[in-house]
Amino acid sequence: MQTAPFDYYRPETIGEAVDLLTSVDGARPIAGGHSLLPAMKLRVASPAALVDIGRIPGLSEITRTGDSLTIGALATHSAVAASDLAKSDCPVLADTAAHIGDPQVRNRGTIGGSLSHADPAADYPTLMRAIGATIHVTGSGGGERSISADDFFVGLFMTGLAAGELVTAVEVPVMSAGQSGVYLKHRHPASSYAVVGVAAIVTVDGGSCAAAGIGIGGVTGKPERASTAEAALVGNAPSNETVEAAAAAVAGDLADPIGDHYASGEFRVHLASVLTKRALAEAFGEVSA
Amino acid sequence: MEVSIKVNGKSYEREVEPRTLLVDFIREDVGLTGTNVGCDTTQCGACTVHLDGAAVKSCTVLAVQADGASVNTIESLANGELHAMQQAFTEKHGLQCGFCTSGMIMTAVKLVESHPDIEEDDIRHGLEGNLCRCTGYENIVRAVAEGARRFDPHSPWEMDPAEHKITLREAERRARERSRT
Amino acid sequence: MTATERAFGSSVLRLEDPRLITGKGRFTDNLSRPGMAHMVVVRSPYAHAKIKSIDSTEAAAMPGVVAVYTGGEMEAAGFGGIPCAWVVPDSDTQTPAHPPIAIDTVRYVGDAVAIVLADSEAQARDAAYAVDVDYEPLGVVVNAKAATEDGAPLVHDDVPGNQCFHWTVSGGDVDAAFSEADVVVGETIVNQRLIPTAMEPRAALADWDSSMESVTLWVTSQNPHIARFLLSLDTGIPEHKIRVVAPDVGGGFGSKIPHYPEDSMVIFASQQLNRPIKWTETRRENYLATIHGRDHVEEVEMAAKRDGTILGLRAKTWANLGAYLSTASTGVPTILHGLMLSGAYNIPAIHEDVYGVFTNTTPVDAYRGAGRPEATFMVERLVDLVARELSMDPVDIRRKNLIEPFTEGHEVATGLIYDTGNYEPALDQALEMFGYEEARKQQAEARSKGRLVGIGVVTYTEICGLGPSEVAGAVGFGGGLWESAIVRFHPSGKVHLMVGVSPHGQGEATTFAQIVSDQLGVAVEDVEVIYGDTDQTPMGWGTYGSRTTPVASGAIMGAIEELKEKGTKIAAHLLEAAEADVEFNDGVFSVKGSREEGKTIQDIVLAANTAWSMPEGVDPGFEASAFFNPANFVYPFGTHIAQVEVDPETGEIDFQRYVAVDDCGPIINPMIVEGQIHGGIVQGAAQVLWEGAHYDEEGNLVTGSLMDYAIPKAEFLPKFELGKTETPTAVNPLGVKGVGETGTIGSTPTVYNAVMDALAPLGVGQVHMPLTPEKVWRAINQAQEGGN
């Protein structure tokens, strides 16, 4: 099944790519293409031009600097899942990547593409909100800036990227002692996307929860941070009661849930609560074990 | 635009429209029709090929994206003799209509390449990007396990390496022999 | 030859496989012809609308475009409506016109409105988007029961109330049964619409030969001879000028039985343009324009005595037929459904009214099991409801009502005469394999901890091996249901077996070679089975209804017997012996007691082909053809048991175990039979757990892609444990019964009953399929609220 015709550019540097994206009418960037090409084949999207950033050098490394990991935008999901650095320093990142789509999709899909597409049913965005990631972008004239995950995800398929801006890397904190992260999802039986995804990052210090980040995807138009639920954790012992209380608080953080034929908004909120409970229990279990 | 893609070891220089999908390049420009198309949403995996050594769905890669790359299709696996995974698919009856089979085998080869002792659960999980409507997957899972076993000479069920390279006719003969005893 | 040495009964590896595992499959879309153009169909985005105008000016001017045609042009060229090949009698069946391309009205989303022909598929697709159609939307109805209500929009102006037919089946005194009953149970079952989803989408390639005024159509068909017959009716091309070839076909499950509009379109375009024309549907089109299955609403009741004895079954069914009648539409919810409502049980009184209804949806036709899964689900669900009402174990109630063993035929209340049955051994074996008693103990323990573990048991029988042609005629099927075969030995002793059936994954190229090998003592690989080409094979009615092996094997055996007789005559002549003294064993004709001096079948074949010295009155050559019209259907049966666990928090269902004991008679190739059962189980289970087509009120197919419609993946499924009993049928010479659909027929109620058993402690009464997590979660909530 063919897409509509388009012009194709293959820049060799980020600068060139950004220039093309700002100068060519209707141009869109493509890397792995696993969000864009399916939409183009169904002619839901018909960009006039594609700017293929897939070969720009230096954008797929995974490196550690200080207390954070930097993942190049072109790192595929399977590269992240297989990365020793990710597995040791931020296991929840590797684990999340390992559960995106299916093996073939993971071999092509990239972290930068997933974040830029901002599909509410995607996995990475949810984790990025929970973990407090920073997204590095480059815009016209080579201007670089960093956007926090909280500011990056604006709405349904909408990000804080300005026209022509490209994601170049994602920075996530490494897991410190006493810290653990878990990502769980209710997988759609057909698409494999997350109907609801929950990422929970907890820090336990001196027998109580010192910090918590809970990200919830699939329930509203963008990945949410469950701040009421987080507040219910911090300062409390990681007991079943604490976990239950946090899970119960999730609904309050999820206004205007979306729904479809498979799962209503009400059910999505419920799933978010159950998955939060389970993710927290697992995360606390890992820290105390 | 002009692309140069190595398919099964042979370079093909062709003029293509940017929108040409890798699968259409393989089927129409190269003329290898073993790679099938079963959907339009990147679900079914029938079109799975190896792109620079990784299993990918060739319906969701542009030929221009594969420019300069090396692609292997189902047609590359048998080299005089059947590949161990092909052998396992026929011996375990891992196919019925055969339409998903090319993609299934190409995925399976990569799935077990580094996991000779792969567990059944991991096989099932590893096949989540490949749909089959005929077999109920039961015999595909058996075939992949068998293919994995044969891949690795150090597996606990070590076999005579010659066993990896028998012809289909010979395998049939052995199967008949087995069923007679 | 001892039994253990026979090719019959061995898991011979498939002769089909070498090409399919090496990427050399000959699927229709893999074929091309010199000068070929491509067709793309412009389809209606409206479920019901008047076509006010079609403007193809822009499309026709686009690069590579050769032509754009509308329905009117096709009609003017003499192409008629798509014929319906099954009209149930005595039911006032309405058969409204079905133009291959809609002429003035579209009736479902996906109905064809124009075709675009271009040098490349991409060019045709680009131009298809540029065809400008002006529609005037009309009222839409998608639900069968709603379509029969007053004021519902009419799908066809000439079909009042949207009622295609009203068919009834009745046997025994149903009113008495219900008035005498101690218990009556009932509910409304929604046997939801399914999308067959053969992995290979449909495709058709037509090549019109103007010099011979003949056409060759390569098409994804389960029955090329039926396709040819029907094409001769609507294209106007005489049947002997049409060659239909079904090359490798990538699964069908019923969806490749019908004669589709696109088959006629490519022939029309090939004639008009004098070029070969290929069309291959996208998966999106496959979901819109290839038939769907099931889609019944059934109001059902069962009457029983306090001791569990079933007295009667009463049902009223609304069968959604979609917008037009597909090839076998009317037979599926009637003959293949209503007549099977006795299941494996003694049910003295049965009555069903079936209303076939038109709606603004994709046409509905045969999908794996076709009518029988709906019947079996109905019966098995009701039996479980009675058991629950009476607090009986589901095994006990079944055992109490199973039909006792029979070999000479058993007539049930619907009038069918089952061929043979012995149901309890299969039940016992399944219980043993499952460890039923232990499993129930474990279930009780799990329940005491609040876990929702459920076990479902089903004892089914089904009707297949379609079937006696006289019955086909009596029930309104527009063709016969016999088969034919030609066994042709070449001088070197190699064999061509030509059959009219058309397997597409079921492995008969191997199974049939095994029959020839077993009977005539030639090697399996010396037999090439030829099928799927009307010019190369004798007449046959195709592969569906689990009929291929039980019916075609009768014809094959007829030809084989003739060759054995002929071989005996020739051998007697060459051995200078009396015919009566010649025996044939393991490929050798010899005088009794002196096998060493005998003649191999290859010797005899060569002698017959050279014909240097033939016995008096025996013709040269070594070939025979035979026809087989079975005396009855065949009725495989068995017991299936499933175990599931429901997550009470999320409503997710963990499908944990499945035991199936099936009886399809003597098994020719166990490996292939097991594969058929595996695949069948999964398609049936999928109806319970994942699959369901869904339309919105405007008639849009919400589950219109593999992103939304969930066919099973490997990771959803447990390992299957299979057992068997072997009760031969007397209907065909080998005693074999069909096995293509048993898995599907048995597994839907088995898995459903298991889930309902899991939910029973919470008081959940009914949940409509598919049992998606949300539906289960809501049912649990509702039950708990009701209980509080």
Q: How far is CA C315 from CA C170, C182, C353, C745, in A?
A: 10, 19, 6, 19
Set of chain A residues whose Cβ sits within 8 Å of the Cβ of B18 = 5-8, 50
> Which two tokens mark C90?
């005595």
> What is the C-alpha separation between C485 and C332, in angstroms, rounded?
27
- Residue percentage of chain C with pLDDT more than 90: 98
Q: What is the DSSP letter of B29?
A: I
| Torsion of the alpha carbons at C150, C153, C158 and C159, rounded to the nearest 10 | -50
Residue range B11-28: mean pLDDT, rounded = 98
Nearest residue of A to residue B50, measured between CA atoms:
A104
CB nearest to B56's CB, from A4, A42, A104: A104
Tell if the CB–CB gap between A4 and C126 is shorter than 8 Å.
yes
> Any chain B CB within 8 A of the CB of A8?
yes
| Torsion of the alpha carbons at C598, C599, C600 and C604, rounded to the nearest 10 | -160
> What is the C-alpha separation between A234 and A211, in angstroms, rounded?
6
> Which two tokens mark B152?
């690795």
CB nearest to C694's CB, from A261, A263, A270: A261
Helix (H, G, I), strand (E, B) or coil at A250: helix
Residue range C609-629: mean pLDDT, rounded = 97
Q: In the predicted model, is pLDDT for residue B42 greater than 60?
A: yes
Size of interface B-C (CB pairs under 8 A): 203
Set of chain A residues whose Cβ sits within 8 Å of the Cβ of C774 = 262-264, 267
> What is the C-alpha separation between C131 and C45, in angstroms, rounded?
13
Q: In the predicted model, is pLDDT for residue C656 greater than 70?
A: yes
**Parallel/antiparallel/unpaired status of strands C349-358 and C310-322:** parallel
Among C213, C284, C312, C218, CA closest to C256: C218
Domains of chain C: 3-23+482-628 (3.30.365.10), 31-138+199-251+256-289 (3.90.1170.50), 372-463+635-787 (3.30.365.10)
Q: In the predicted model, is pLDDT for residue C666 greater than 90?
A: yes
Query: What integer pLDDT is reported at residue B176 of this predicted model?
Result: 54
CB nearest to C21's CB, from B90, B135, B139: B90
Residue with tokens 């090496």: C22
CB nearest to A105's CB, from B18, B64, B129: B129
Residue range C12-21: mean pLDDT, rounded = 97
Q: How far is CA A74 from CA A118, A127, B161, in A?
A: 16, 18, 40
Q: In the predicted model, is pLDDT for residue C66 greater than 60?
A: yes
Nearest residue of A to residue C776, measured between CA atoms:
A267
Tell if the CB–CB gap between B129 and A7 is shorter than 8 Å.
no
Tell if the CB–CB gap between C714 and B19 is shorter than 8 Å.
no
Query: What integer pLDDT is reported at residue B169 of this predicted model?
Result: 53
Under 8 Å CB-to-CB from C694, ≥6 apart: which residues? Answer: A261, C701, C702, C703
> Which two tokens mark A175?
């897991």
Residue range C659-681: mean pLDDT, rounded = 98
Tell if the CB–CB gap between B96 and C675 is shorter than 8 Å.
yes
Query: What integer pLDDT is reported at residue B80 of this predicted model?
Result: 84
Determine if residue B53 is left, alpha or beta; phi over 0 gives left, psi from -120 to 50 gives alpha, anything else beta.
left
Under 8 Å CB-to-CB from A6, ≥6 apart: which residues? Answer: A40, A46, A47, A48, A49, A50, B18, B19
Query: What integer pLDDT is reported at residue C366 of this predicted model?
Result: 98
Helix (H, G, I), strand (E, B) or coil at C584: strand
CB nearest to B40's CB, from A41, A78, A107: A41
> Any chain C CB within 8 A of the CB of A262?
yes
CB nearest to A262's CB, from C125, C650, C772: C772
CB nearest to B99's CB, from C9, C250, C282: C250
Tell if the CB–CB gap between A190 and C706 is shorter than 8 Å.
yes
Residue range C448-477, pLDDT digits in tens: 999 999 999 999 999 999 989 999 999 999
Residue range C719-731, pLDDT digits in tens: 999 999 999 999 9
**Parallel/antiparallel/unpaired status of strands A27-30 and C183-194:** unpaired
Tell if the CB–CB gap between A186 and C773 is shorter than 8 Å.
yes
> Confidence band (pLDDT; 50, 70, 90) for B79?
confident
What topology does CATH give the domain A7-52? 3.30.43
Q: B62, B67, B132: best mutation site toward chain A, by most A Cβ within 10 Å?
A: B62
CB nearest to B180's CB, from C4, C715, C717: C4
Q: C6, C10, C11, C13: best mutation site toward chain B, by most B Cβ within 10 Å?
A: C13
Tell if the CB–CB gap between C20 and B39 is shorter than 8 Å.
no
Q: In the predicted model, is pLDDT for residue B112 greater than 50?
A: yes
Nearest residue of A to residue C704, measured between CA atoms:
A190
Amino acid at C458: V
> Any chain C CB within 8 A of the CB of A239?
no
* DSSP bridge pairs for C527: C495
Residue range C540-564: mean pLDDT, rounded = 97
Residue range C343-382, pLDDT digits in tens: 999 999 999 999 999 999 999 999 999 999 999 999 999 9
Q: A1, A42, A186, A193: best mutation site toward chain C, by most C Cβ within 10 Å?
A: A1
Sheet of B2-7, strand order: B10-15, B2-7, B70-72, B48-51, B54-57
Q: Tell me which of A284-288, C189-193, C725-729, C739-743 is least confident.
A: A284-288
Tell if the CB–CB gap between A261 and C777 is shorter than 8 Å.
no
Cβ within 8 Å of A, C 634-663: 649-650, 652
Q: CB of C677 within 8 A of CB of C750?
A: no
Nearest residue of C to residue B49, measured between CA atoms:
C23
| Domain covering B84-180 in this structure, CATH number | 1.10.150.120
Q: In the predicted model, is pLDDT for residue C282 greater than 70?
A: yes
Tell if the CB–CB gap between A264 and C652 is shorter than 8 Å.
no
Query: What integer pLDDT is reported at residue B165 of this predicted model?
Result: 42
**Domain B2-76 grouped into CATH 3.10.20.30:** yes
Helix (H, G, I), strand (E, B) or coil at C560: helix
Under 8 Å CB-to-CB from B15, ≥6 apart: which residues? Answer: B1, B2
A87 burial level (CB within 10 Å; 0-12, 13-18, 19+): middle
> Confidence band (pLDDT; 50, 70, 90) for C758?
very high
Q: CB of C109 within 8 A of CB of C45?
A: yes
Q: C774, C775, C782, C784: best mutation site toward chain A, by most A Cβ within 10 Å?
A: C774
Residues B95, B96, B101, B104, CA torsion sign: negative
Residue range C579-603, pLDDT digits in tens: 999 999 999 999 998 999 999 999 9
Query: What integer pLDDT is reported at residue C1 of this predicted model?
Result: 37
> Any chain B CB within 8 A of the CB of A48?
no
In the complex, which subunits touch A with 3 or more CB pairs below 8 angstroms? B, C
Tell if the CB–CB gap between B34 and C23 is shorter than 8 Å.
yes
Q: What is the DSSP letter of A261?
A: S
Give one DSSP letter per residue of C134-171, joined into a string.
EEEE------HHHHTSTTPPPSSTTSGGGEEEEEEEEE
- Residue percentage of chain C with pLDDT more than 70: 99
Helix (H, G, I), strand (E, B) or coil at C514: helix
For Cα atoms C173, C91, C327, give the angle at the middle one, nearest 5 degrees: 125
* DSSP bridge pairs for A199: A183, A215
Q: Where are the domains of chain B?
A: 2-76, 84-180
Q: How many residues does chain C have?
A: 788
Give one DSSP letter per residue of C377-424, joined into a string.
HHHHHHHHHHHHHTT--HHHHHHHHBPPPBSS-EE-TTS-EE--B-HH
Under 8 Å CB-to-CB from A76, ≥6 apart: which residues? Answer: A32, A60, A106, A107, A108, A109, A110, A111
Q: In the predicted model, is pLDDT for residue B154 greater than 60?
A: no
Nearest residue of B to residue A191, measured between CA atoms:
B43
Residue range C284-301: mean pLDDT, rounded = 98
| Domain covering A62-173 in this structure, CATH number | 3.30.465.10
Set of chain C residues whose Cβ sits within 8 Å of the Cβ of B99 = 25, 27, 198-200, 250-251
* Tens-digit pLDDT string for chain A (289 aa): 899 999 999 999 999 999 999 999 999 999 999 999 999 999 999 999 999 999 999 999 999 999 999 999 999 999 999 999 999 999 999 999 999 999 999 999 999 999 999 999 999 999 999 999 999 999 988 899 999 999 999 999 999 999 999 999 999 999 999 999 999 999 999 999 999 999 999 999 999 999 999 999 999 999 999 999 999 999 999 999 999 999 999 999 999 999 999 999 999 999 999 999 999 999 999 887 5
CB nearest to A104's CB, from B21, B24, B129: B129
Nearest residue of C to residue A266, measured between CA atoms:
C774
> What is the C-alpha separation between C419 and A204, in angstroms, rounded?
71
CB nearest to C714's CB, from B73, B82, B127: B127
Query: What integer pLDDT is reported at residue B157 of this predicted model?
Result: 32
In the complex, which subunits touch C with 3 or more CB pairs below 8 angstroms? A, B
- Average pLDDT of chain C? 97
Tell if the CB–CB gap between A5 and B18 is shorter than 8 Å.
yes
Q: How far is CA A176 from CA A130, C361, C593, C748, in A?
A: 15, 57, 88, 50
Among B174, B153, B175, CA closest to B84: B153
Residue range C137-161: mean pLDDT, rounded = 97
Tell if the CB–CB gap between B175 and C507 is shorter than 8 Å.
no
Residue range C698-715: mean pLDDT, rounded = 98
CB nearest to A261's CB, from C650, C702, C713: C702
Nearest residue of A to residue B43, measured between CA atoms:
A191
> Any chain B CB within 8 A of the CB of A42?
yes
Tell if the CB–CB gap between C708 and A261 is shorter than 8 Å.
yes
**Domain A179-288 grouped into CATH 3.40.1160.10:** no
Among B132, B139, B9, CA closest to B69: B9
Size of interface A-C (CB pairs under 8 A): 49
Tell if the CB–CB gap between A267 and C284 is shorter than 8 Å.
no
Q: In the predicted model, is pLDDT for residue B174 greater than 80?
A: no
Residue range C379-396: mean pLDDT, rounded = 98
**Does the interface ipTM go beyond 0.95?**
yes
> Any chain C CB within 8 A of the CB of A87?
no
CATH 3.30.43.10 placement within chain A: 7-52
Under 8 Å CB-to-CB from C565, ≥6 apart: which residues? Answer: none
Residue range C105-119: mean pLDDT, rounded = 98
Set of chain B residues whose Cβ sits within 8 Å of the Cβ of C504 = 97
Query: What integer pLDDT is reported at residue A87 of this predicted model?
Result: 97
Bond before A206 cis per omega within 30 degrees: no
Among C58, C75, C165, C157, CA closest to C112: C75
C22 phi/psi in degrees, rounded to 5: -110, 10
Set of chain A residues whose Cβ sits within 8 Å of the Cβ of C649 = 274
> Any chain C CB within 8 A of the CB of A189?
yes
Distance in Å, alpha carbon of B175 to nearest chain A alpha carbon: 33
